[in-house]
Amino acid sequence: MSMTESATERNLADGSVASPEESEIQSGTPLPMGGPHQQGDGVCFVLFSRHATHLRLELCQHPDDSSTTRVIELDPMRHRTGDTWHVWVRGIAVGQLYGYRIEGPYQPEEGHRFNPHKLLLDPYASAIAGVKDWKVLALSLAFFGTSGGLYAIGFWAPLIVRGLGFSVMNVGFLVAIPNLIAVIGMVLWSRHSDRTGERYWHAAIACLIGAVGMDVAARAGSSATLAITGLSLTAFGVSAAKPPLWSLPTTFFADIAAAASIGLINSLGTLGGFAGPYMIGSTNETSGNFSRGLYLVGGAPIVSALTIVAMRFARKAMLPQDCQTGKVF
C-alpha cells in the first residue's frame, strides 16, 4: 500500500519548510532492495537499517557544494516497512547526489555506533562522485605511500631483525621499539600540528622522515643499531603523517562531497598496504636480502611528500586573491 503525503522538507540555505506544492514526496515501496531506483518521474530510495530510529535523506546538486540543497525527513510510521526505510521523490533522476544521516543507539559494546552528525554513503550506490577529481586522486596517492611504508614495516620488520641473528624472543622485544616510538611520536606530532594549525608540512615532513628511515634500514647491513634506528624512523614517519593527512580532505570538500571523497581516498590509498609488502617480498626472493625492497618502498613516502606539498600550493592558488597572503593550513 502506497500513501501519498508531504514529508518534512527544509531548505538549508534559509531554514524554510517546503510546502506541498514545492515538491511531492511519497512513501514509496520497500522493494526492490538494493539502493535507489527510477520509478516514473521520480526516484525511490531504499535503505535497510534495523536499529535506526530516524533517518534523513540529503540531496546535493554538485560534489563541490558546501552544503546540501534539500533535506527530507523520513517518518518511521510512513517510510518504514519492517527494517527497510523507503521514500519516493518526484522530479529527480538516477545520478542524483545524496547521502544519509541516521539516528539510533550509540552502544559500541553491542555494535551500534549511530551518529547523525556523520553523513553516510549508501553501500548500494552505483557510483561515487568525485572519482575523476584530481584532488581525490592526489590525496589517494599521498595515502598510498604512507600505507605502503606502514604495512611493509609491519609485515617485514620481524624478519629483517631475525636476519641479524637474534632469537625469536629478542626479535619480539626489538620489534616493539619502533612501534613504541611510532605511538608516542604520532601523538606528539599531532598535538604540535593542532597547536600550530598547520597540516601540509606536518604530513609531508613526516613522510620524508619515513623515507629516510627506509634508507637507513637498507644500509644497516649487520648493524642492529642502524636497523632498529631505520625501522623506528620509518614507523614514526608513516604513522605521524596520517593524522594531518586525514584532515586535508575536508579542506577541499564539504558534506556529501567530503563523505564520498574520504571513502574513495581510503579505498584507493589502502592498496598501498598490498603494494608495499609485496615489493619487499618479491625483491627479497630475487636478491636474497631486504635492501633493494626497502629502497623501492622508500620511494613511496617521497612521492607522498611531494604530492602533499603540491596540494598545499594548489590550495593556496584556489583561494580568493585577497586571501593569497594569508596562512594556508
The three-state secondary structure class of 55 is strand
Confirm if 249 and 265 have CB atoms less than 8 A apart.
yes
Q: What is the DSSP string of 129-158?
A: TTTT-HHHHHHHHHHHHHHHHHHHHHHHHH
| Residues of the domain holding 51 | 4-113
Q: How many CB atoms lie within 10 A of CB 50?
A: 8
Residue 120 lies in a domain: no
- Listed residues 83, 113, 143: the one ending a domain: 113
Interatomic CA distance for residues 44 and 90, integer angstroms: 9
**pLDDT over 80 (residue 23):** no
Task: State how many domains the chain has.
Answer: 2
- What percentage of the chain exceeds 90 in pLDDT? 26
**pLDDT over 60 (residue 327):** no
Residue 277 lies in a domain: yes
Interatomic CA distance for residues 233 and 217, integer angstroms: 9
pLDDT digits (tens, 9 = 90+) for 268-277: 888 888 888 8
State the cell numbers at 77.
510510521
Q: How many CB atoms lie within 10 A of CB 252?
A: 20
Across 30-48, average pLDDT: 84
Same-domain check for residues 151 and 254:
yes
pLDDT band of residue 124 (cuts 50, 70, 90) is confident
pLDDT digits (tens, 9 = 90+) for 165-209: 888 899 999 999 999 999 999 999 999 999 998 999 999 999 999
Residue 253 lies in a domain: yes
Residue 329 lies in a domain: no
**pLDDT over 80 (residue 73):** yes
Cα first-last separation, the chain: 54
| pLDDT for the residue numbered 239 | 94
Same-domain check for residues 100 and 236:
no
Given CA atoms 273, 185, 190, 306 in this order, what sign does their dihedral have?
A: negative
pLDDT digits (tens, 9 = 90+) for 86-107: 988 888 877 778 888 989 998 8
For residue 179, the 8-state DSSP code is H
Same-domain check for residues 69 and 163:
no
Same-domain check for residues 313 and 271:
yes
Residue 129 lies in a domain: no
Whichever domain contains 228, its CATH number is 1.20.1250.20
Tell me, what amino acid is at 14? D
Same-domain check for residues 71 and 147:
no
Same-domain check for residues 166 and 306:
yes
Q: Match 620489534 to its residue by C-alpha cell.
A: 175
Q: Match 611528500 to its residue by C-alpha cell.
A: 305
Interatomic CA distance for residues 100 and 121, integer angstroms: 7
Same-domain check for residues 189 and 302:
yes
Same-domain check for residues 163 and 106:
no
Same-domain check for residues 161 and 213:
yes
pLDDT digits (tens, 9 = 90+) for 216-254: 999 988 899 999 999 999 999 999 999 999 888 877 776
Ranges assigned E (strand) in the chain: 4-5, 9-10, 25-26, 37-39, 42-48, 54-60, 70-74, 80-81, 84-90, 97-103, 106-107, 112-113
Same-domain check for residues 257 and 149:
yes
Same-domain check for residues 82 and 226:
no
- Listed residues 80, 113, 146: the one ending a domain: 113
- Listed residues 113, 142, 169: the one ending a domain: 113
Same-domain check for residues 66 and 165:
no
The alpha carbon of 225 is separated from its chain's Cα centroid by a whole number of angstroms, namely 36
Whichever domain contains 42, its CATH number is 2.60.40.10
pLDDT band of residue 3 (cuts 50, 70, 90) is very low
**pLDDT over 70 (residue 211):** yes
**pLDDT over 70 (residue 159):** yes
Interatomic CA distance for residues 80 and 28, integer angstroms: 10
Tell me the C-alpha to C-alpha distance, in Å, between residue 123 and each of 42, 222, 263, 289. 21, 50, 11, 43
| pLDDT for the residue numbered 64 | 58
Residue 92 lies in a domain: yes
Residue 124 lies in a domain: no
Residue 127 lies in a domain: no
